[in-house]
Amino acid sequence: MNPQVAQAVPEKAANRLLLLPYALPYLTYVAIASLLGGRVSAEVSYLLRLVCVPIALAWGWKWYSGVRGPRSPWGSAGVGAAWGVAGA
């Protein structure tokens, strides 16, 4: 986010600005599946989702927070996997 915009916008409003970059890939997937589901074949629907969702992800990439936590990437992935197994 532009630092000048971040200073001018309160924290809650700044979080609202992230809604579209995070929701767009999911909404794209669901919209293609539901709106075109009966009009095109399953193969065409999958192909459209395979093309359009990565485009939406690439568009929003600059707003996504990193996967890295306070540890190294391997440490963060290990802790995440451990919590995933513990929660399952």
Specify the pTM.
Answer: 0.62
What is the average per-residue pLDDT within 42-64? 93
Other residues' Cβ atoms within 10 Å of the Cβ of residue 25 = 19
Phi, psi of 68 (to 5 degrees): -75, 135
The model's pLDDT over 12-30, given as tens digits with 9 standing for 90+, comes to 557 788 889 999 999 999 9
The model's pLDDT over 55-68, given as tens digits with 9 standing for 90+, comes to 999 999 888 876 55
E-assigned strand segments in the chain: none
Q: Residue 70 is encoded by which pair of tokens? A: 């306070």
